Structure 1
Amino acid sequence: MLRLANFWAPALLGLWVVSATQTSVSVALHKRVATVATVRKHAEASKSSVQHKMAYFGTIQVGNPPQEFSVVFDTGSGNLIVPGSDCSSDACTSHRRFDHRKSDGINAINCDGSNVSHGMLADEITITFGTGKITGQCFTDSICVGAACSKGNFISSLDESYTPFATFSFDGVLGLALDSMAQSNEFSVMSRFHGAGVLAQPLFSVFLSDSDEEKSEITFGAIKEEHMASELYWVNVVGDAGYWQVEIQDIYLGDKAQKLCQGCRVAVDTGTSELAGPSDIIARLEGLLGSGHDCSNLDSLPHLGFAVRGPNGKPKILSLSPKDYTSEGSFGGCNLSLMNLDVPPPKGPLFVFGIPFLQKYFTVYDHENSRVWSLVSSTDRDTVEASPCSSDEWEGLLAARYEGSPQSLTLAWTEDSCEESLGSISRGCQSLPNGGFGEISAPLLEHGESEGTQPSKVSAPAMTLNLINASLGSGLLSLPWAAAGSSLLVAAGVTLLVLVLNAVTNIILVAAAERQHVFDLGGLMGRLPGKWARLLRWAFDCSIWCSVGLALLGYFVVIADAFDPVAELAGLPSTVKKKASVFVGMLLVIPLCLMDPEYLAFSSTLSVAANVYLVLLITSIFTFQSEVTSHHSFCWLGAGPGIITMGSALMQSMIFQMCTMPMYEVLEDRSVRRFSICLAISFAFVFFLFTTLCLMGLSLYGDGVSSNILNNLPPDVSGDVARVGVGLSVIAIYPIYLESMVAPLRHAEERAWRHRQPLMLPSPRDSVVFDDAVPRGTSGDLEAEPSRSSTSWMSDRLLKVRVKVFQLHAKLPMRPSHFAAVAIILGSAAGGCVVTHLGLCNILNGASQVAAMVGWAPGFAGLFLLGWDQRCWQLLMVLLIVFSSMMSMVGMMHVGCNKRGTYRAVARVSRTDVERGVVFPADSLRYRDNFVNSLNCMWESS
């Protein structure tokens, strides 16, 4: 007996010790607003749009002694990522950083889990998301979630892109997907906890409350029965990619099966603020459900159910009430919480259940058996009993993230990224708060585009037309005049040089904008390091307003001249013709400037056609020798100060760097390479058009050509059509340039919208820095801000927007960016009624823009924002800054010289004068400016 006691005593003691060390822990989750950034198309997947939704996160400890971090518990990713102390980017320094030097027993490893070879450095890993990337190194150290601790592998970042990571109010992400989603089993926290035996059960459960009165939490190792309103119902995970996902049999409206999605899969994503599904099915559901804009029919809407196949083959229905699948819009109306997610077979079709589902259903994830279950939470017991189906049928399951991965079910609080972990899928990568951001190796769902919430995307052909259109402003009309003082061949060479220089600088700015995820020039300059960044941002914003303001003024000068034939036909007296033309142009410009970019592609096509018609008309006049015109001699090759004038005139036409980034922002499937191709095609066309116009213009009118070549056109129908067409083309260009002026204001406006705060001018923050903290009492699940000009926003009732300008409070009856747009149009129209000499306006504007737009902006961006530290590259950027500054000074000085010349407008021969038989002297259409007289011509045409 004694021998038996001696045998059992140690065994029982061992069992007691093991059971004493096994535990369950709960971590409170805090609810904050998360930002969801745009995700580009990846393989077969479509893109998503920016939204600002809810995210839940809690705290963990890493290292010994423990260092605390706030993380998103993300079932859509598999690794633990925290900012590292060696990371100096803004995204890291704004959060708590893990200092490996202060942790005892830490071990650096390679990111495949292997040990670092003697004498070698540990490797690094770069994880690319749809909206940013992280580069990090891998360590093994203690990881604690509450009282549950184990050694495990994790990633400590060395660099994080500003967007999206700087926008998070939490520090990192703890991935809770199945092991196949992690770098290796050692990187899976659940796998390490299970292997170390620290949890009572190898599972975790998630309870999300939609009330501030009740605590949301994630529990490891146990299931809290107080959150249960019914029995658990297990469903096996399908797929092998590591996501928590299950198969659904059909969709129900009320108690009727719709036969909409038989054999689809469904995933539960704690970072998705809406329900996501195939776009064709979502469209049909929206039509069948049809919630009223004012919520008037909310009580009559049916329950939305998803039939899930259980282990015994019997279907169970996961049901959502109308209150669950609708949300209140920013203007008080009702919106369906449905977004598009197109995942092709065999991984799709796929639905994703987000916050509306998780706030109703308590979900449990069995890591060991790859199964998931869900049941109605205790707070929704009444909702279930009131539903048309039995309480049994409301039990369900949770499902997984996007990629149809067998054996996986995924939940993800995604905040911003989304592209990588899902491989080829991803329409609507939803927001993951910090760690769930799209997963370290598996991206999260992002919000699919919803009508009226984001500016529409522009296709590559439309972008090419817009780029051509941006180059065909009032500067085009002054090119023959400028070429008269530089000689034709030199003018062609200067044109080529200016085009190449502007192409390179535009690409530099676009590359920097893509890397920093800032899409206005002032905001991009605000990213520069050092204390001068904010000052530079304001300096560039002011420069943009001045230079673009001059360009817009010049456009109204062109409009006044172009619509003169219309005013003549209307019989208006000469004293009001110009003002009437400007007024008509203003009425046409205002609605165009409030449209989305996609609607400008048609106007851009008309604009390009009008300019091509102008060149063809001049070519036709040259070819068929009308009686009124005759050939004039001009200089083929020469040298003189007119070269500077030609460069300034070209710069005025070709400098649209301030517009490039807002245009690039809305490019469909945007990438620097895609934009560069569009730019190259457009500039090749522009070079041909410019040189042809100069050749024909000089051949016809010689060195006395007007600074606005419209004034040289014959007073017949063909000439009037060209004038009116060019006037309309300038109107089409106007919105492209105006957007560069209002883009900083629009971005500041979007920040204020997200946080329900007054719009503050000047802005206290950078253009894309958002405060995620949601003050108590405000809505956590904020609707995305309206599109800058979406028609759906315009159809909503107007609200008064609070504005704070230099500490003065005011309310505007419309969006401040729209208000500013109208004010700019009125100001430039007023200037257009006064200014008469287009050439002087153009060369003044062109010379003033060279330093800021061609030199300083791309030079500083290339030096500090691209991450290229090669000495040769840095030297080139410095030379660009110096060269452009010198050219700008020389150009401005030359403007002063020209002002002392004979600047008198060419008298345009009107139709009335011709009918009256008025005869003009042969030289009445010819005059010379000082820079033309100074030309030293070496080869003159005969």
Structure 2
Amino acid sequence: MEQKLLRSVFCLWVLASCLLLPASSNGLRRIGLKKRRLDLHSLNAARITRKERYMGGAGVSGVRHRLGDSDEDILPLKNFMDAQYFGEIGIGSPPQNFSVIFDTGSSNLWVPSSKCYFSISCYFHSRYKSRKSNTYTEIGKSCEINYGSGSISGFFSQDNVEVGDVVVKDQVFIEATREGSLTFLLARFDGIIGLGFREIAVGDAVPVWDNMVEQGLVSEEVFSFWLNRDPDAEEGGEIVFGGVDPKHFKGKHTYVPVTKKGYWQFELGDILIGNQSTGVCEGGCAAIVDSGTSLLAGPTPVVTEINHAIGGEGVVSAECKLVVSQYGDLIWDLLVSGLLPEKVCQQIGLCAFNGAEYVSTGIKTVVEKENVSAGDSAVCSACEMAVVWVQNQLKQKQTKEKVLSYINELCDSLPNPMGESIIDCDRIPTMPNVSFTIGDKIFNLSPEQYILKTGEGIAEVCISGFMAFDLPPPRGPLWILGDVFMGVYHTVFDSGKLRIGFAEAA
């Protein structure tokens, strides 16, 4: 009888202990973090950096830059102005804490160094002090990375890195000794932790995620993002290392294979505005998922159609109007005759093929007493855009007059290359959905999901979540699905099976 009573008491004690244990005791770490709202200056700085980053504008000196359950660890993310999400990690023993962006579009870890003496931005952020860590190992190899919005230079070091409740041992990272831009001064994060593949790691450094896997710190070679887009919520989101949290999504994930290691790249299918196909990606387009990019970026022809459909303010293109007025009928006739779209501008004489891509021909045209060079790359690009637009309208069986009138309207609203497209906030209820085909499923974005807001009251401004981004062949064209998309769809990065999964976020 006494043994039975003791057994009952023990069972009750175990049950009570399980109920009272903190969340971190099961290997999961959850911390509520603050957020800041969207800021136009930060978005513009990110736009410049993104352009340089993917177009090969980032240069590296002194290093080689190659392109080409309880085991889950959950790290909450801070929502930086509804565009950048960052969380806290620790470096060294004892750990020195840093706020870093978890960036699937890069593969290195860098933080400011205590040896950063001549950059004012370093004094506004946490700085790594190697002398205070008893697990520090000196490497000293220097590196420099140049971005469109500034540059980072420093040297490689090695130390333990604490991510959530796990410690990654002997992680190679960059101590930044110079941060040459106001972008870094104003940033609310200290550094960046790259979650891309090793193929794009500067200095061939092994990424933090790869080391987590190799050191057996996770049970599955999977990490996942849940980004909270609610501007009033305290928690910005969570990244889960080693698996997924079922509370973060609804239904099942749609998985697509990684088509090229480096960035998390996959093949994107057709893109629809409302229920109408844009026709651009019917045969497949390259796309990457990038948590370090705030908006959705894609080729100018499609983004122009999207922003025109939602009433986005743009800029007038004289080259575009020239092509439509002088060559619109001919473009129509050539496409109707069956000429391949990629050969139309060459046939007209506005572009020439140099063996790798179409370039300008040097033809001069006079329009309204102004010399406009049809040999400019802008004219060649305008022709190529017009071909895309006409081809798409042909599929919808529109008349030539309506098509050319529509294209002329598009020429008045090209995305502003210097910034975002401003939207009338009152038009949001009447705007169309924009949809992406991934695998065999359509992923919809409603106006409330792809329009970003900044300011309050009479100062409120609405911004299109779509930005023009033209990456030339052979690496482009390329779509970048940033936080606007990832906030709507929970995203799984499976490095073991080389696939990416999307499901509706909870």
Query: Measured at CA, do residues 276 and 192 of structure 1 come closer, stay the same or move farther in structure 2, by a change above 3 Å?
Result: same
Equivalent residue in structure 1 for 2:244, among 200, 210, 223:
223
Q: Does the CA-based 8 Å contact 1:73-1:173 persist in structure 2?
A: yes
Q: What's the counterpart of residue 296 of structure 2?
A: 275
Query: Measured at CA, do residues 186 and 192 of structure 1 come closer, stay the same or move farther in structure 2, by a change above 3 Å?
Result: farther
Q: What's the counterpart of residue 483 of structure 2?
A: 355
Name the SS for the 1:82 alignment partner. Answer: strand
* Matching of residues 236-315 of structure 1 within 5 Å: 236-240=257-261, 242-262=262-282, 263-290=284-311, 294-309=424-439, 315=440
Q: Which has the higher contact order (CA 8 A, sep 6+)?
A: 2
The structure with the greater share of residues assigned to helix is: 1
Q: What's the counterpart of residue 180 of structure 2?
A: 161
Query: Measured at CA, do residues 218 and 29 of structure 1 come closer, stay the same or move farther in structure 2, by a change above 3 Å?
Result: farther
Q: Take 2:311 and 2:188, find their aligned partners in 1: how far apart are those partners?
A: 36
Query: Measured at CA, do residues 106 and 124 of structure 1 come closer, stay the same or move farther in structure 2, by a change above 3 Å?
Result: same
- CA apart distance, 1:45: 5.1
Task: Name the amino acid aligned to 2:132.
Answer: K
Q: Take 2:460 and 2:435, find their aligned partners in 1: how far apart are those partners?
A: 26
Q: Does the CA-based 8 Å contact 1:29-1:57 persist in structure 2?
A: no
Name the SS for the 2:35 alignment partner. Answer: strand
Q: What's the counterpart of residue 97 of structure 1?
A: 127
Q: What's the counterpart of residue 160 of structure 2?
A: 142
Query: Measured at CA, do residues 291 and 141 of structure 1 come closer, stay the same or move farther in structure 2, by a change above 3 Å?
Result: closer
Cα-to-partner distance string for 1:241-277 (whole Å, 9 max, x where unaligned) = x111211121123344331333212223334332211
Match status 1:320 vs 2:445: yes
* Matching of residues 881-892 of structure 1 within 5 Å: none
Cα-to-partner distance string for 1:883-903 (whole Å, 9 max, x where unaligned) = xxxxxxxxxxxxxxxxxxxxx
Equivalent residue in structure 2 for 1:201, among 203, 214, 220:
220
Name the SS for the 2:243 alignment partner. Answer: coil
- CA apart distance, 1:145: 0.5
Cα-to-partner distance string for 1:391-435 (whole Å, 9 max, x where unaligned) = xxxxxxxxxxxxxxxxxxxxxxxxxxxxxxxxxxxxxxxxxxxxx
Task: Name the amino acid aligned to 1:248.
Answer: L
Equivalent residue in structure 2 for 1:76, among 105, 122, 126:
105
* Matching of residues 454-853 of structure 1 within 5 Å: none
Cα-to-partner distance string for 1:546-603 (whole Å, 9 max, x where unaligned) = xxxxxxxxxxxxxxxxxxxxxxxxxxxxxxxxxxxxxxxxxxxxxxxxxxxxxxxxxx
Name the SS for the 2:144 alignment partner. Answer: strand
Q: Take 2:127 and 2:443, find their aligned partners in 1: how far apart are those partners?
A: 41
Name the SS for the 2:186 alignment partner. Answer: coil
- CA apart distance, 1:326: 2.4
* Matching of residues 108-187 of structure 1 within 5 Å: 108-109=138-139, 122-151=140-169, 152-183=171-202, 186-187=205-206
Equivalent residue in structure 1 for 2:503, among 360, 372, 375:
375
- CA apart distance, 1:322: 1.6
Task: Name the amino acid aligned to 2:129.
Answer: D
Q: Take 1:79 and 1:45, find their aligned partners in 2: how far apart are those partners?
A: 18
Q: Does the CA-based 8 Å contact 1:25-1:221 persist in structure 2?
A: no
Q: What's the counterpart of residue 338 of structure 2?
A: none
Q: Does the CA-based 8 Å contact 2:91-2:159 persist in structure 1?
A: yes
Q: Take 2:216 and 2:242, find their aligned partners in 1: how far apart are those partners?
A: 10
Task: Name the amino acid aligned to 2:489.
Answer: Y
Query: Measured at CA, do residues 42 and 352 of structure 1 come closer, stay the same or move farther in structure 2, by a change above 3 Å?
Result: closer
Name the SS for the 2:157 alignment partner. Answer: strand
Name the SS for the 1:238 alignment partner. Answer: coil
Task: Name the amino acid aligned to 1:94.
Answer: F
Task: Name the amino acid aligned to 2:114.
Answer: S
The structure with the greater share of residues assigned to strand is: 2
Q: Take 2:493 and 2:29, find their aligned partners in 1: how far apart are those partners?
A: 15
Query: Measured at CA, do residues 184 and 191 of structure 1 come closer, stay the same or move farther in structure 2, by a change above 3 Å?
Result: farther
- CA apart distance, 1:81: 0.4
- CA apart distance, 1:291: 6.5
Q: Take 1:95 and 1:254, find their aligned partners in 2: how far apart are those partners?
A: 45
From the CA coordinates, give the structure whose radius of gyration is larger. 1
Number of aligned residues: 337
Q: Take 2:94 and 2:453, find their aligned partners in 1: how far apart are those partners?
A: 46
Match status 1:66 vs 2:95: yes
Q: Does the CA-based 8 Å contact 2:144-2:153 persist in structure 1?
A: yes
Task: Name the amino acid aligned to 1:154.
Answer: F
Q: Take 1:22 and 1:155, find their aligned partners in 2: how far apart are those partners?
A: 32
Q: Take 1:133 and 1:101, find their aligned partners in 2: how far apart are those partners?
A: 26
Task: Name the amino acid aligned to 1:92.
Answer: C
Name the SS for the 2:83 alignment partner. Answer: strand
Q: What's the counterpart of residue 87 of structure 1?
A: 116
Q: Take 2:54 and 2:504, find their aligned partners in 1: how far apart are those partners?
A: 35
Task: Name the amino acid aligned to 2:198.
Answer: D
Name the SS for the 1:284 alignment partner. Answer: helix
**Structure 2 spans left out of the alignment, 5+ residues:** 1-24, 58-79, 314-422
Query: Measured at CA, do residues 329 and 161 of structure 1 come closer, stay the same or move farther in structure 2, by a change above 3 Å?
Result: closer
Q: Take 1:136 and 1:46, find their aligned partners in 2: how far apart are those partners?
A: 20
Q: Does the CA-based 8 Å contact 1:264-1:349 persist in structure 2?
A: yes
- CA apart distance, 1:209: 0.9
Task: Name the amino acid aligned to 1:39.
Answer: I
Name the SS for the 2:306 alignment partner. Answer: helix
Task: Name the amino acid aligned to 1:103.
Answer: S
Q: Take 1:287 and 1:270, find their aligned partners in 2: how far apart are those partners?
A: 26
- CA apart distance, 1:335: 4.0
Q: What's the counterpart of residue 190 of structure 1?
A: 209
TM-score normalized by structure 1? 0.34
Q: Does the CA-based 8 Å contact 2:274-2:434 persist in structure 1?
A: yes
Cα-to-partner distance string for 1:433-467 (whole Å, 9 max, x where unaligned) = xxxxxxxxxxxxxxxxxxxxxxxxxxxxxxxxxxx
- CA apart distance, 1:296: 4.5
- CA apart distance, 1:29: 5.4
Cα-to-partner distance string for 1:337-371 (whole Å, 9 max, x where unaligned) = 22110012232222222232122111111122221
Query: Measured at CA, do residues 264 and 29 of structure 1 come closer, stay the same or move farther in structure 2, by a change above 3 Å?
Result: farther
- CA apart distance, 1:100: 0.5
Name the SS for the 1:81 alignment partner. Answer: strand
Query: Measured at CA, do residues 150 and 251 of structure 1 come closer, stay the same or move farther in structure 2, by a change above 3 Å?
Result: same
Name the SS for the 1:197 alignment partner. Answer: coil
Cα-to-partner distance string for 1:848-878 (whole Å, 9 max, x where unaligned) = xxxxxxxxxxxxxxxxxxxxxxxxxxxxxxx
- CA apart distance, 1:103: 1.0
Task: Name the amino acid aligned to 1:284.
Answer: E
Query: Measured at CA, do residues 77 and 43 of structure 1 come closer, stay the same or move farther in structure 2, by a change above 3 Å?
Result: closer
Q: Take 2:454 and 2:191, find their aligned partners in 1: how far apart are those partners?
A: 30
Q: What's the counterpart of residue 366 of structure 1?
A: 494
Task: Name the amino acid aligned to 2:178.
Answer: D
Task: Name the amino acid aligned to 1:167.
Answer: L
Query: Measured at CA, do residues 355 and 298 of structure 1 come closer, stay the same or move farther in structure 2, by a change above 3 Å?
Result: same
**Structure 1 spans left out of the alignment, 5+ residues:** 1-20, 110-121, 310-314, 379-942
